[in-house]
Structure 1
């Protein structure tokens, strides 16, 4: 997927946190520690460095949901992160995103903390992020 295609899907999925631009995706993809996993209807952008892996973003288009795509992408992320030498993985998810939290819990992630006021909403309010972690070994 091109940075523009990534931004188009991301823009259809996210309001809070705000969707990323094609330029932001291009900059991330230029980083050797960042990797893209994509299937029709969605993608996951991850990073692995110094024994840690992070899910930077996961976007599944509305019409592609409830078909296991998110679960497959998270599974592929865990395998790729381990192959890149990471021994644990983490992510931040909007604390009110019950569907995403359920997906990550189903993949073995557990809540490790909360970042209060981490995400900005379009109205200018601040939303909390739940920090989730999982061992890879």
Structure 2
């Protein structure tokens, strides 16, 4: 289980990673293992629609059990399948980097983090930094 304090630390660290690197303003969300929002923050200057993108990145990761990079590879190889999956989930997934699985000490999926605002690879890097800050393992 991810605590609220851990979720907030992950988000704070991810946003600070973007600031320190000089990236565009980021937004970040942490979902529990059931895909429910545990915490969200949008950095000053981030576009208002970023919640939906961050959530979709994280939701796809937790629901499919694969990070955004793996989802993107799957979409490139099997576009019809990923389009069908997105339809099944009501258009709530975004199969690109920035959606990162969060694994507990035993390796089980305990949630996901979605970050958006800069390049997808930078978004994933920020999420991984946030997850590592609380001693958990991220899978981009």
TM-score scaled by length of structure 2: 0.30
Between structures 1 and 2, the one with greater strand share: 1
Between structures 1 and 2, the one with greater helix share: 2
Q: Which has the larger radius of gyration?
A: 1
* Greater RCO structure (CA 8 Å; 6+ sep): 2
TM-score scaled by length of structure 1: 0.30
